[in-house]
Amino acid sequence: MSPAVTICRDGDDLAARAADLVAQAAEAAIWARGRAMLALAGGSTPKVTYGLMAQPARRIRIDWARTFLFLGDERFVPPDDPSSNFAMVRRTLLAPVPVPARHAFPVPTQLGTAAAAAAAYAATLAEEFAIGDRGGPPRFDLILLGLGEDGHTASLFPGAASLSVSDRWVAATPPGTLPPPVERITLTFPVLNAARAVVFLVSGASKAEALRDVLEGRPSREERPAVGVRPADGTLTWLVDEAAAGRLTR
Ligand code: 6PG
């Protein structure tokens, strides 16, 4: 299925459409399977989206008691660190909405190593998705992703070993070239490509070159990891603002 690309007026328009997409995906999942399994993006772009989702008019659309929230990736920093993705999600979304605390799953970065945190997060996925030893990968109802200026997504960085991981759902990866310069824990391609829906949120002119390459070029996943996101049996949507779309030709 070819990706759907929606060019939004600006960051606010992008955030509003993203918040609506998340609510629709959660409603549909709960209707079909009794619960919604969502993986959220880190970084700065989704903050406005999470803020909108927390506003009264939108938060009533999601049955938070049946919604489970995971992270697509995390920085290997303490959970209360300013650069923690979970801290950002807690501040912008979890604090204002009635999601049970046991339904939000931070990456256990308090563990000694990023590898240990990755292994523990994979075990949590297996438990929450009720996947036995031979099953999997977990099939999220929706995964939100961002795009780095270098074409990375989640914490799958250009040239990194984690790009070729096929036997694990979560990997530890060395710092990328973009800040913060810390180890990361990331969902791997097998999980990203098992999702029912993946939505990229891309905002700002600094992303224009990477976005053009990913959508219109033929880079390898080594060069631009975001091209490796191709849900096998799911939808792929790009919500991009005009600034980020500035170099698209089509
Ligand atoms: C992270 C993210 C990362 C992010 C991109 C875009 O932990 O940094 O998960 O993949 O989505 O780097 O980041 P911005 O939205 O901040 O531009």
Residues near 148 by beta carbon (within 8 Å), at least 6 away in sequence: 43, 157, 176, 178, 207, 210
pLDDT the model gives residue 135: 82
Query: How far away, in angstroms, is 154 Cα from ligand 1 center?
Result: 7
> Is the minimum distance from the CB of 173 to ligand 1 under 6 angstroms?
no
Q: Which structure tokens are listed for 236?
A: 């792929």
> Is the minimum distance from the CB of 85 to ligand 1 under 6 angstroms?
yes
**pLDDT at position 134 over 90:** no
Nearest alpha carbon to residue 27 among 2, 63, 55: 63
Stated pTM of the model: 0.97
Percent above pLDDT 70 for the chain: 99
Buried-state track 108-133, b at ≥16 Cβ within 10 A, e below 16:
bbebeebbebbbbbbebbbeebebee
pLDDT the model gives residue 65: 97
